Amino acid sequence: MPLDFILSFLRDLAANNSKAWMDEHRADYHRARAEYTAFVADLIKGAQQFEPNLLGLTPQDVMFRINKNDRFQQSDEPYKRHMGAGIKRGGRHASWAGFFVALQPGGETYVGAGRWMPEPEQLARIRQEIHYNPTEFHTLRQSPELLQHFPSGLDMTQTLKTAPKGYDRTDPDIEWLRLKSYFVWQGFSDKEVLRPDFPSRVLAAWQAALPFVQFLNEAMQPE
């Protein structure tokens, strides 16, 4: 499915981010959302082929609203500049690791996988699993398949300044135990998004990240 109308709409929205403009262009928004919904539906169907935990999900379960959440709003703009979805067990707000895609013009589109900013209890479990099974963790985060699609590896931007409680700052894995998110992502240019093979590239990236996602989800399981 061509994604050019979605990018065009979002480009116009970014330049005219107001309720008045959105009201005037409501029909264009509904068309863009419908096309994004179809895009996400195809991705769900493809991801279910390699991750049975996603069976039963619908686009409505995984798509984020375009309206900004006031709790996290960092500007006066009422709408996000992207359309996004979190495809994971239980839907977009579930407390599990999973797969993400957000379309945004200007080369801001990204595809991701993992768990972004888990709750403290979940984060503690992930750290404990890394501490107990560092070999498995490092094998997964450095796997050639994962790095082929996410060459930067784990996102290192969200990290503690010191060792987390209960861990020695000289621990050989302290760099990884200090992370507050366990997430990989890769950006795409508008030209790449508009290529016919973009959906298959998204699915290939998610499938490559599946073992890492499964590691996180197993770690977060309540005892």
Single-letter residue type at 137: F
Domain ranges of the chain: 4-220
6 close to 35: Cβ distance less than 8 angstroms: yes
H or E element, residue 51: none
Residue linked to tokens 């995984």 = 62
The SS3 assignment for 132 reads: helix
Average model confidence (pLDDT) across the chain: 95
pLDDT tens column, 119-164:
999 999 999 999 999 999 999 999 999 999 999 999 999 999 999 9
Positive or negative, the CA dihedral 71, 73, 78, 82 is negative
Distance, CA of 174 to CA of 130 (rounded, Å) = 10
- For the chain, what percent of residues have pLDDT higher than 70? 96
Question: In this model, does residue 2 exceed pLDDT 90?
Answer: no
* Predicted local distance difference test score (pLDDT) of residue 70: 54
* Predicted local distance difference test score (pLDDT) of residue 51: 97
Kindly report the number of other CB atoms within 10 A of residue 52's CB atom: 9
Kindly report the number of other CB atoms within 10 A of residue 49's CB atom: 10
136 close to 218: Cβ distance less than 8 angstroms: no
Q: Of the candidates 41, 105, 100, 33, which has an alpha carbon nearest to the alpha carbon of residue 66?
A: 33
HSE-CB at 21 with a 13 A cutoff on CA atoms is 13
pLDDT tens column, 22-64:
999 999 999 999 999 999 999 999 999 999 999 999 999 999 9
pLDDT tens column, 72-118:
456 689 999 999 999 999 999 999 999 999 999 999 999 999 999 99
Class for the domain spanning 4-220: alpha beta
Supply the DSSP string of 113-177, one letter for each residue.
Answer: EEESS--HHHHHHHHHHHHH-HHHHHHHHT-HHHHHH-TT-B--SSB-SSPPTTS-TT-TTHHHH
Give this prediction's pTM. Answer: 0.94
Mean pLDDT of 4-23: 97
